[in-house]
């Protein structure tokens, strides 16, 4: 019975409220129980399932799962070839697209073969972007939000940019050469130093040039539109650990012409010489060792042959016709230039024939092979590959021999295509001008790296007060002047100014570069 019923509910009988539990409470509160009885007193429990006033307990569990937004290029560490990595990536992309497309013919895991060049290139681009996201995440974030790169960035001097595909490329300072060079040459893709993907690419291009040394490997990487940070050290390390390169050694820097002869006789050599002069033009001077076929050919061709030590006779013959200079007997070192080329050619042949084993080559195959060997040797860079970020196309011996390069250069402004092919002298001038342009561009490699002025600053303006540096006097005596005129460059940067200085009641204007003045007041 509820004690509150005595005071709140109606009752038909008279109730003594003084004796009611509503006033006095339960009887066991008024009694004085012993300690033992208190311990044994039962305690009523409430059943939560039958008590309607208790709210049900709600238990919620939260599971936090971090889904990586990147594929993770560490997966590619099990690949040892660039082509295999790209093929696997293309297969994975194809399977993912098949699930999204929902086609019954091409759905889920199945056999896949790359059918188009675009599929292969898309896989390459995807793989390069994943590498850049992992290695240059901060740089990509800064470029995407229009912020300056951190000063400790390893690619700060490369002036990086983001292209339309989201690839990080070298920005450079020769964007005006776009009509002369392809975009991949002017803005190569940046890859990190020491990454496994970078190593795969270096190994891929090293094998493509048939293990022909560091310079040729670096040239192939640059021609492919790649800029690998620290590529020189990585290429040197790869060549040092390359088993094939331990057997071979890339050496000299001269152009070569290889001919296949049937036998080591004067007749065969003369026929080879006639083919050479028909392709390359007349020869002014020959140098060689004292091979019996060479000595016999000089008699048959009526060529003046002299000893290398006979200086007076050689000088006399220099003014008349063709000459042939033989080295002294037992002095093979005097022909070091071509002897090294012979060794290089033999090494190339060894590398090309590694898979041939003892399988013989036909005459046609041998002639084709020798032509390819000549092309490989003559495609190597003449000078050392520059590490500057805006390096243009490298000058090669093949350009000197043919006057051509992989991609045809732009025509001179004063000449049209019809004029070049109508007049031979115009075509010769066009080739000479093109070669001269390439020669001048090769000198840009020494000027490419932006080692300072890597942070944009406000341009100097007319009216700014400056100090003009003068090395002949102390700093506190440098003249003070006002900028009267600015000379912006093509990119809008003010690199040169005209400073007006008033001295001895005379006003004089000096033209100075901005690094020769100190701004006092803007």
Comparing CA positions, the residue from 192, 241, 157, 234 lying closest to residue 450 is 157
Residues in the chain: 522
Distances (CA, A) of 374 to 69, 236, 255, 457: 48, 24, 8, 51
- Count the alpha carbons within 13 Å of 410 in the hemisphere toward its beta carbon: 11
pLDDT in tens, 133-162: 888 888 888 888 888 888 888 888 888 888
Confidence of residue 198 (pLDDT cuts 50, 70, 90): very high
Whether the per-residue pLDDT at 119 is higher than 60: the answer is: yes
The architecture in CATH of the region 266-378 reads 2-Layer Sandwich (3.30)
pLDDT in tens, 88-117: 888 888 777 777 766 556 665 666 666 677
Distances (CA, A) of 183 to 10, 94, 147, 148, 226: 100, 28, 24, 24, 11
pLDDT in tens, 424-434: 445 445 544 54
**Matching residue, tokens 């390169």:** 245
Whether the per-residue pLDDT at 201 is higher than 90: the answer is: yes
Rounded Cα–Cα distance for residues 160 and 156 (Å): 7
Q: pLDDT > 70: what percent of the chain?
A: 56
Phi-psi sector, 483: left (phi>0), alpha (psi -120 to 50), beta: beta
CB 254 within 8 A of CB 339: no
Rounded Cα–Cα distance for residues 132 and 72 (Å): 11
Rounded Cα–Cα distance for residues 389 and 156 (Å): 10
The alpha carbon of 337 is separated from its chain's Cα centroid by a whole number of angstroms, namely: 33
Confidence of residue 253 (pLDDT cuts 50, 70, 90): very low
pLDDT in tens, 230-250: 888 899 888 888 877 765 443
CB 468 within 8 A of CB 479: yes
pLDDT at residue 397 in the model: 75
Q: Which residue has the higher pLDDT, 194 or 248?
A: 194
Among the ranges given (223-237, 246-260, 273-287), the one the predictor scored with the smallest mean pLDDT: 246-260
Among the ranges given (88-102, 143-157, 309-323, 492-506), the one the predictor scored with the smallest mean pLDDT: 309-323
65-83 mean pLDDT:
74
Domain ranges, ordered by start, for the chain:
5-40, 266-378, 465-521
Is residue 483 classed as helix, strand or coil in its secondary structure? strand
With residue 100 as reference, give the H or E element that holds it. Answer: helix 82-101
For residue 512, what is the DSSP state? E
Q: Which residue has the higher pLDDT, 490 or 506?
A: 506
Whether the per-residue pLDDT at 410 is higher than 60: the answer is: no
Collect all residues with Cβ–Cβ distance below 8 Å to 34 and sequence separation of at least 6: none
Radius of gyration of the chain, Cα coordinates, nearest whole angstrom: 42
Q: Which residue has the higher pLDDT, 514 or 1?
A: 514
């Amino acid at each position: 019975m509820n004690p509150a019923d005595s005071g709140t509910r109606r009752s038909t009988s008279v109730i003594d409220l003084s004796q009611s539990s509503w006033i006095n409470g339960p009887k066991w509160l008024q009694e004085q129980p012993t300690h033992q009885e208190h311990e044994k007193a039962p305690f009523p429990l409430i059943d939560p399932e039958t008590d309607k006033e208790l709210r049900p307990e709600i238990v919620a569990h939260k599971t936090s799962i971090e889904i990586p937004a990147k594929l993770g290029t560490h997966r590619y560490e099990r690949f040892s070839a660039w082509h295999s990595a790209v093929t696997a990536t293309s297969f994975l992309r194809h399977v993912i697209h098949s699930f999204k497309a929902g086609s019954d013919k091409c759905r889920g895991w199945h056999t896949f073969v790359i059918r188009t060049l675009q599929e292969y290139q898309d896989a390459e681009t995807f793989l390069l972007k994943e590498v850049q996201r992992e290695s240059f995440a901060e740089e990509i974030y800064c470029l995407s939000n229009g912020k300056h790169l951190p000063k400790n960035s390893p690619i700060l001097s490369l002036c990086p940019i983001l292209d339309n595909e989201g690839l990080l490329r070298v920005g450079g300072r020769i964007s005006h050469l776009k009509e002369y060079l392809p975009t991949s040459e002017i803005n190569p893709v940046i890859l990190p130093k020491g990454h496994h993907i970078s190593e795969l690419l270096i190994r891929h291009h090293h094998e493509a040039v048939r293990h022909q040394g560091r310079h040729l490997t670096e040239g192939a990487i640059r021609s492919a539109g790649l800029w690998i940070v620290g590529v020189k050290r990585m290429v040197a390390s790869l060549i040092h650990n390359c088993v094939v390169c331990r057997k071979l050694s890339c050496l000299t820097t001269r152009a070569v012409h290889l001919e296949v002869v049937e036998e080591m006789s004067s007749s065969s050599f003369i026929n080879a010489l006639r083919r050479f002069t028909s392709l390359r033009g007349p020869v002014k001077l020959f140098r060689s060792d004292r091979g019996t076929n060479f000595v016999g050919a000089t008699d048959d061709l009526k060529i003046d042959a002299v000893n290398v030590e006979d200086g007076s006779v050689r000088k006399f013959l220099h003014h008349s016709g063709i000459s042939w200079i033989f080295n002294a007997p037992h002095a093979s070192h005097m022909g070091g230039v071509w002897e090294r080329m012979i060794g290089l050619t033999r090494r190339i042949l060894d590398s090309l024939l590694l898979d041939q084993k003892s399988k013989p080559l036909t005459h046609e195959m041998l002639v084709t092979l020798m032509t390819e060997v000549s092309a490989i040797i003559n495609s190597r860079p003449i000078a050392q590959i520059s590490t500057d970020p805006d390096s243009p196309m490298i000058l090669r011996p093949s350009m000197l021999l043919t006057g051509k390069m992989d991609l045809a250069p732009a025509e001179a402004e004063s000449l049209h295509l019809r004029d070049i092919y109508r007049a031979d002298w115009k075509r010769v001038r066009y080739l000479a001008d093109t070669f001269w342009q390439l020669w001048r561009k090769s000198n840009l490699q020494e000027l490419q790296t932006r080692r300072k002025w890597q942070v944009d600053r406000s341009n100097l303006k007319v009216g700014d007060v400056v100090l003009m540096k003068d090395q002949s006097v102390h700093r506190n005596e440098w003249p003070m002047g006002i900028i009267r005129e600015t000379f912006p460059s093509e990119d809008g940067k003010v690199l040169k100014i005209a400073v007006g200085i008033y001295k001895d009641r005379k006003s004089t204007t000096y033209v100075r570069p901005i690094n020769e003045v100190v701004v006092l007041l803007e």
